[in-house]
């Protein structure tokens, strides 16, 4: 009986960890911190607020996303926690709702500007999960908007923040639209089977690939404008990290272009995995503009290492199923 209870507990904990997508959670916290730093916040408590509340909302959003997608996942990804029965749908809904309510309460306590931004983010999460994910580019735009809102949430902890932050909000909106589009490229067959009319399902993978490339290029241009606006007085050296980030982005997207007409799922997944690491660098670059290079490096190094490790241990299995990565090996993650 002890073994059985222990095994069930391990299965339940693993199901929750898989739902969290731990290779994604560091990014959103960095975005909140970047917004606070750009806005001039230096008090530790408010930096923690800018970090923690978006991270909590991100985790809650994953629970709700999996609850909204439970029927689609039952068709295309039955190994995931809810359709496999390892996580009850009502449990996912309960945890997701509780997290969002906690975000709302904490945001209100933090002040009306953060409350407004948090409310917009919650509406975006629900709208995306309910219907926008299935309707094409509109879903990508709303999903990408969450990155911009996270940056603005961090900035909103300062009542009168610098309006130049809006340039970086645009950059992360465009960037996350590109990243989300690449994510849809790995799910074309499953989305089509589930009735989801995503951009690659409706208009083909070549259109989706070029749209993602255009979004990414525009994001880098906006980020350069923001970096010049915030760090221009320090000379061109502050653009070096941004250039390095852009190189990684090109490495991620380049394999998609020549294979855009018959894009293998693994190629799309690999591109998204690289973008998950690249966006940490982009967010850390912005953290460096507000809080200093030393702070940015101290945060980026362990987060990038954890992201790489958890993606390597969990990502392929979670996206492609036990045929691609045995469940027994996954249980050791």
Q: Is 43 exposed, middle or buried (0-12, 13-18, 19+ CB in 10 A)?
A: exposed
Q: What is the DSSP string of 186-212?
A: TTHHHHHHTT---HHHHH-HHHHHHHH
- Does this model's pTM top 0.75? My answer is yes
The segments of the chain whose pLDDT lies below 70 read 1-3, 5, 232-237, 323-333
Comparing C-alpha atoms, which of 3, 9, 1, 2 is closest to residue 331?
9
pLDDT at 244: 95
How far is C-alpha 184 from the chain's CA centre? Answer: 13
CB-based burial label for 261 (10 Å; 0-12, 13-18, 19+): exposed
Residue ranges covered by each domain of the chain: 23-325
pLDDT tens readout for residues 206-221 = 999 999 999 999 999 9
Which pLDDT does position 329 carry in this prediction? 37
CATH topology of domain 23-325: Farnesyl Diphosphate Synthase (1.10.600)
Burial of residue 148 (number of CB atoms within 10 Å: 0-12, 13-18, 19+): buried
Virtual torsion, Cα 270, 179, 274, 259, nearest 10 deg:
40
What's residue 333's pLDDT? Answer: 32
Q: How confident is the model at residue 5, as a pLDDT?
A: 67
Q: In this predicted structure, what is the pLDDT of residue 327? A: 38
């Amino acid at each position: 009986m002890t073994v059985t209870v222990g095994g069930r507990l391990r299965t339940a904990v693993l199901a929750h960890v898989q739902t969290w997508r731990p290779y994604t959670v560091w990014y959103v916290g960095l975005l909140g911190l970047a917004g606070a730093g750009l806005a001039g916040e230096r008090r530790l408590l408010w930096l923690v607020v800018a970090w923690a509340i978006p991270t909590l909302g991100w985790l809650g959003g994953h629970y709700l996303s999996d609850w909204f997608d439970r029927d689609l996942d039952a068709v295309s990804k039955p190994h995931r926690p809810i359709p496999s029965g390892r996580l009850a749908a009502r449990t996912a809904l309960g945890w997701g709702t509780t997290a969002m309510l906690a975000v709302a309460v904490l945001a209100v306590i933090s002040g009306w500007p953060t409350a407004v931004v948090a409310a917009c983010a919650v509406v975006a999460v629900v709208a995306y999960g309910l219907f926008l994910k299935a309707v094409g580019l509109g879903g990508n735009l709303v999903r990408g908007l969450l990155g911009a809102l996270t940056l603005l949430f961090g900035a909103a902890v300062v009542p009168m923040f610098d309006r130049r932050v809006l340039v970086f909000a645009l950059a992360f909106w465009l960037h996350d639209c590109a990243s989300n589009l690449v994510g849809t490229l790995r799910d074309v067959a499953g989305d089509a089977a589930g009735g989801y009319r995503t951009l690659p399902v409706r208009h083909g993978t070549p259109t989706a690939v070029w749209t993602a490339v255009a979004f990414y290029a525009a994001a880098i241009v906006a980020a350069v404008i923001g970096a010049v606006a915030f760090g221009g007085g320090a000379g061109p050296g502050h653009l070096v990290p941004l250039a390095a980030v852009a190189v990684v982005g090109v490495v991620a997207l380049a394999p998609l272009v020549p294979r855009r007409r018959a894009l293998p799922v693994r190629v799309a997944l690999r591109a998204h995995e690289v973008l998950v690491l690249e966006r940490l660098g982009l967010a850390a670059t912005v953290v460096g503009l507000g809080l200093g290079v030393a702070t940015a490096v101290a945060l980026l190094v362990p987060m990038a290492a954890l992201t790489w490790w958890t993606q390597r241990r969990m990502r392929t299995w979670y996206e492609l199923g036990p045929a691609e990565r045995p469940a027994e090996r996954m249980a050791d993650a």
